[in-house]
Amino acid sequence: MIMNDYVLEVAVFSVKEEYIHRIPQIRNGLRKALKDFKGLLQVDSYSPVGDDRVFADIAKWESLENAIVASQAFESGDPRFLPYLEAIAEIKFFGHFKLS
């Protein structure tokens, strides 16, 4: 893989009020689940500044194909992602990007 030949997967989402205090634990579970998928390079999680409930996760994948396999598992309700899915109130943005 060339140094800049990777895909970023960006998810921006709001969390249900009752799950705010559990987000660190839920994100640890997400990281473990994503490691089951081929091609994961890195996952970074961002929390809101202040009292907002909007969070962002950015995953770096070796290829778009690898990212899509994981996102399809997520969308289909794969049990590994259930705690994460249950905490999400709304997905505000989800997309894939490459350096240009």
CATH number of the structural domain spanning residue 87: 3.30.70.100
Say what the pTM is. 0.90
Domain that holds residue 41: 7-97
In a domain, 46, yes or no: yes
How many structural domains is the chain composed of? Answer: 1
In a domain, 38, yes or no: yes
Q: Which tokens sit at 25? A: 């634990």
Per-residue pLDDT reduced to its tens digit, 40-53: 999 999 999 988 89
In a domain, 74, yes or no: yes
In a domain, 1, yes or no: no
Neighbour tally for 1: CB within 10 Å:
9
Residue partners of 51: CB distance under 8 A and separation at least 6: none
How does pLDDT run along the chain (100 residues), one tens digit per residue?
456 789 999 999 999 999 999 999 999 999 999 999 999 999 999 999 988 899 999 999 999 999 999 999 999 999 999 999 999 999 999 999 999 8
In a domain, 2, yes or no: no
